[in-house]
Structure 1
């Protein structure tokens, strides 16, 4: 396939190249520029803007339904849960996101049906169920529910938000269970969270030994532990125990950023969900008062991005959307553009996210040898970042060199 006429923004931070041709062969980018080989299929992208396929490093595809109906009142059938997840996968791909990292809610069943083409969607890397402590963030059951009742809400092969893990032995068992279900990494919640029923943002969760146990299990599999963290006390414990990625990081300051840089710990901010919950948490099926818990999270994450950038921390990009309205993943790039720049927002959502996911040798930039996961926009997102947030502006999407969306 010969892609011609587009302005190429390659994801490395280099200046855009107008009219840069791209040759795709066998699902990979074979060459930039030159002349088309005989018999090549020509995709005319004149006047459009070509970028690497976007990557969302913090999604919850398993939480694609009304959360109250899904987790508390249990009003949804398995068929309804699956239908909502499959629709979310399709919308995510149509928005230009060709890869996502699911940080809690799915297991390998959904990843497999998307990977083999039975359901349209992005490439899915996932942690399986999150490891959470009893009463901690990631447990959405009511106060009167038992732990056994929470475990019974899992749908094997489709949905499992979290496993209650108390003590190193329990953490070890559940880490191994997550890997058995196809996890590519582990996630733990080491502080309270915004979407919580039983804790505060200032709470710390899990001990050093518990986190170190998960880290040991991840290292044995050649992978890593990422942690949900909204305060630095819990985050410091997690980094000391060997965690290599931080989700949210709303309290990260210059001192913490320096530690993260020293220990090569990445940061994945999640601005979009905080803005959505502040606006109306009931749209996700959450109580209205949840919006009040957002507190300093929005400004805190903005400050964390600036501190982390100054320290040289690898910074990714994640939307963290939950509930049925996950149509605007690109809003994360709009919000990041306001803090840094549209180019930096794009680099974070492509090259740097690929590095966070540890697949930077395969995706994230438009370079020969990389997989041909590509997004084509109708307008210049560097001049107008709102283009990132409009699925109608995503004119073409290629996944492994195949056109999966074309509305030119």
Structure 2
């Protein structure tokens, strides 16, 4: 294939490490990689873009999505045709890219077929890092059978999870998801909102089962993310070596101590709880599931603000479902109660790259990094609302050197 080169001139570069604008910079991009950044002229590419002083920053990352979750009712989702789910996923994916998200981490449901479709251009969307099916115990957060249902859960349907009980089954499930291309392992280590037969306060999986999942992930040179809400569940997971805590609305100082000790990450997903509180029933939640939402919403504000104040590494994540995906950027607004714009931007760029084990590849604009970037007509460091209004401020989206939006 012919070499593709792009020159970007007069970009006001946002340095996510320092949280400052570096002033006018020129970039040279070759084959999807940033080759040069300079205040002086750079090589002239086949395509040239003049930003005329607009802010240029790394593409955004969302560390907790479910791109196949076109409904919040996962029991119904498991009955949908996989081809129908794929079509609905395409709409969700293109929406994410249009908001400036160039890399997302799918925490249950996506597979290699969706990734391949994006890479080959059959679907338009962000780069997807996926866990495959999230792994759950029987009656856990990934078991979507109602109390009166007795069919066997499988991995051939359109659901987000698979069931494994006992250490041998957990090992096999992890190995199977890794064989199918999973970038990391996701386990359900506590109860959740959208599961029909558990409680928020449940701990799920034994210590030996969680340890087995961590061992299998580490053997494959990757890590485990764990769905948890309570301190009790989070502490068990962290002691077993889990790398990222998803949600964590009810954690405590002991959990925070463990996170700091283990250098773990917290992915709060506050926007989904806000959205579920307002639109949960319309989006597909049953009445029983909806009643669980209040247990986690208010606690999350206190818990996450406190975790941030103590220095926990916090990553941008949303976990939105069904029609609520459109609220993806409201995570910035919600967390602006306790994080500065620079901290919020870092959580959706550099810190996310660290969690993804892709530091130096994504999350910042630097020579050698992938050419994932967005151009804005406003300054998000002065007003984080700039990132929440893509129709007005988002003028260019580039992923891997390919331009998907150009309104310069």
TM-score normalised by the chain length of structure 2:
0.93
Instruction: Provide closer, same or farther for how the CA distance between residues 304 and 21 of structure 1 changes in structure 2, counting only shifts above 3 A.
Output: farther
Cα deviation per residue 1:41-81 (whole Å; 9 max; x = unaligned)?
32121242211000000000111x2344x633866433321
Give, in whole Å, the separation in 2 of the partners of 1:71 and 1:257.
34
C-alpha displacement at 1:268, in angstroms? 0.9
Aligned partner of 2:107 in structure 1 is 103
Identify if the C-alpha distance between structure 1 residues 329 and 147 changes in structure 2 by more than 3 Å, giving closer, same or farther. same
The 1:55/1:402 distance shift into structure 2, 3 A limit, reads same
Asked if the contact 1:283/1:325 (under 8 Å) is kept, the reply is: no
Instruction: Tell me, yes or no, if the aligned pair for 2:146 and 2:197 is still in contact at 8 Å.
Output: no
2:308 aligns to what SS in structure 1? helix
Among 50, 66, 73, the alignment partner of 2:71 is 66
Paired residues of 2:134 and 2:160 also in contact (CA < 8 A): yes
Contact 2:7 / 2:44 at 8 angstroms: preserved in 1?
A: no
**Residue number in structure 2 paired with 1:373:** 372
CA distance in 1, matches of 2:189, 2:50: 49
In 2 relative to 1, CA 216–38 (structure 1 residues): closer, same or farther, beyond 3 Å? closer
1:106–1:160 CA contact under 8 A, matched in 2: no
Change (3 A) 1:45 1:79: same
Partner residue in 2 for 1:8: 13
Residues 1:125 and 2:124 are matched in the alignment: no
TM-superposed CA distance for 1:229, in Å, is: 0.7
Distance 1:73 1:12 in 2: 40
Contact 1:192 1:199 in 2 (8 A): yes
1:211 alignment partner, SS class: helix
Say if 1:47 and 1:151 are closer, same or farther in 2 by CA, change over 3 A. same
User: TM-score w.r.t. structure 1 length?
Assistant: 0.93
After superposition, the Cα gap between the structure-2 partners of 1:342 and 1:332, relative to the gap in structure 1 and judged at 3 Å, is same
Residue number in structure 1 paired with 2:340? 341
98-107 vs 28-37, greater mean Cα deviation:
28-37
Give the CA deviation at 1:115.
Answer: 1.9
1:250 aligns with 2:249: yes
Partner in structure 2 of residue 49 of structure 1? 55
The aligned counterpart of 2:154 is 151
CA contact (8 A) 1:187 1:228 kept: yes
Q: Deviations over 1:318-346 (max 9, x none)?
A: 01011133123211122222221111111
**Could you report, residue by residue, the CA deviation over 1:158-207 in whole angstroms, capped at 9, with x for unpaired residues?**
x4411111111111111111112211111111111122211111111111
Are residues 1:406 and 2:403 paired? no
**Offset of residue 360 of structure 1:** 1.0
Bigger shift: residues 21-30 or 347-356: 21-30
Structure 2 residue corresponding to 1:31, chosen from 36, 40, 44: 36
SS of 1:317's equivalent? coil
2:93 matched to which residue of 1? 89
In 2, Cα distance between equivalents of 1:143 and 1:106: 26
Q: In structure 2, do the counterparts of structure 1 residues 369 and 287 end up closer, same or farther at CA, with 3 Å as the change threshold? A: same
Match of 2:236 in 1: 237
1:396 maps to 2:396: yes
Number of aligned positions between the proteins: 401
SS in 1 for 2:374: strand
Residue ranges of structure 1 left out of the alignment (5+ in a row): none
Question: 2: CA distance between counterparts of 1:120 and 1:388?
Answer: 21
Distance 1:332 1:146, change over 3 A: same
User: What is residue 320 of structure 1 aligned with on the other side?
Assistant: 319
Q: Tell me the distance in 2 between the aligned counterparts of 1:23 and 1:129.
A: 39
CA–CA distance in structure 2, aligned partners of residues 291 and 23 of structure 1: 50
Q: Give the 3 Å change call, closer, same or farther, for CA 74–127 of structure 1 in structure 2.
A: closer
